[in-house]
Amino acid sequence: MMRFLFGALLGVLVACPGLRDVLLTAAGTGLSQPPVLAVLGGVLTWPRIVRTARRWTS
C-alpha cells in the first residue's frame, strides 16, 4: 500500500511540477508542529507495538 501511495505521489509531482512547492510548504509547516510529529510517530510505530503486544500475550 505504501509503495502505491508513494508511486501515486511521485506521479502527481511529475505530472504537475508546480504542485511540488505547495506540497513542500505544507509538509514543512506540518512537520514543524510537535503534535503533528507525535501523531506521525504513533502512526508509524503502531504496527510494531501491536505485534510486540500480541507476542507477549500469546
H or E stretch at 57: helix 34-57
pLDDT, one tens digit per residue, over 2-46 is 788 888 888 888 888 888 888 888 888 887 888 888 888 888 899
Query: In terms of residue numbers, what domain contains 19?
Result: 2-57
Banded model confidence at residue 56, pLDDT cuts 50, 70, 90: very high
Residue with the three cell numbers 510548504: 25
Residue type, 28: G
| pLDDT for 23 | 81
| Structural domains in the chain (count) | 1
